[in-house]
Amino acid sequence: MRIANNTISDTILQQIQDLSANQSKLQTQISTGLRISEPDDDPAAYGRVLNYETAQRQAAQYTNNASTALALSQASYAGLQSLKTISDRAGELVTLGSSSLGTTSMQSYAVEVNQLIEQAVQVGNTSYNNSYIYGGTAVDSPPYVATRDSSGQITSVAYAGNTSQASVPLSEGTSVAPSTSGTTNTGIGDFINQLVALRNALQSGDTAAVSATQSGLTDGENTIISAVAETGGVQTRIEAAQSDLQSRSTTLDSLVSNEDSTDISTAVVKLSQAQTAYQAALASGAKIMNMSLLDYIQ
């Protein structure tokens, strides 16, 4: 039986090419540390790695969401703490102004309250990343609009935001609203207007009017305290989510590594075997290719 020379040549060349490709793949695995670079390296494992990598991207996005939400919540918390300090001082001034201190002292306290009003409006119009944080989802303009008299004093404050809260997803099934609620935001406006009433009462020297502001200021303080507690709880939730996401990311990294990483010692042994087989194939092929047609006839 005769075997065509071109058939033998094609077969030998194909074997040598396969052995060369195997060497190249093993060398790549050793140099990169990755076992899978193409789907046909291990189709099942490649599919699992794709799924893990998708989950990794989702976890990374949720991690970014959590970081953004935490920063916004912390900015809100800082502002609320400032408002609480203003409220504490206003309460002290109500007590002082309700007693018979004389016109001069009451006017001095009125000047101080006027500064507290300006400070409260400034805090209320705090922005983070160019977005106003106490205006609900109306983040493009200051939420507290002050009306001033001819001397520049604030005579009233109107809330120009809305009562909506933006929700930030922290996982497939959970989300958090890092901004303050509509009740808190409108309550801050009411609190500032109570400060205006306190200043006016002090300016007029009316101790009864000063005392009358106590109830409204207490309501404002309660709103602020509740918001501080709520914001602290939101931060705790976000930090817990961050911890879960970190654990999730670590687990996914491990799963990908288990599927994708090269066992270097095993790959080195296989490469040595492949190189030996390749050299043997070259020698054998050269010998066979040099045989003449008469060698087959014999």
- Walking along the chain (298 residues) 10 residues at a time, the average pLDDT comes out as 53 60 55 59 75 90 96 96 97 87 86 97 95 95 97 96 94 93 96 97 93 95 97 95 93 77 51 57 57 49
SS3 label, residue 130: coil
Distance CA 146, CA 148 (A): 6
pLDDT value, residue 294: 46
* Residue whose token pair is 């004093």: 153
Q: Residues 106, 131: contact at Cβ < 8 Å?
A: no
pLDDT value, residue 50: 82
Q: Residues 137, 162: contact at Cβ < 8 Å?
A: yes
Torsion of CA 92, 97, 99, 100, to 10 degrees: 150
Taking CA 232 as the corner, what is the angle to CA 231 and CA 237, rounded to the nearest 5 degrees? 95
DSSP secondary-structure letter at 175?
E
Q: How much is the pTM? A: 0.74
The size of the chain, in residues, is: 298
pLDDT value, residue 252: 87
Distance CA 269, CA 283 (A): 21
**Pair of tokens at residue 58:** 């989702």
Of the candidates 220, 219, 206, 196, the residue with the CA atom closest to the CA atom of residue 98: 206
CA distances from 50 to 7, 64, 178, 203 (A): 41, 21, 33, 71
Of the candidates 266, 193, 278, 247, the residue with the CA atom closest to the CA atom of residue 22: 278
DSSP secondary-structure letter at 140?
S
SS3 label, residue 185: helix
Hey, which residues does 176 pair with through a beta bridge? Answer: 168
Q: Residues 76, 133: contact at Cβ < 8 Å?
A: yes
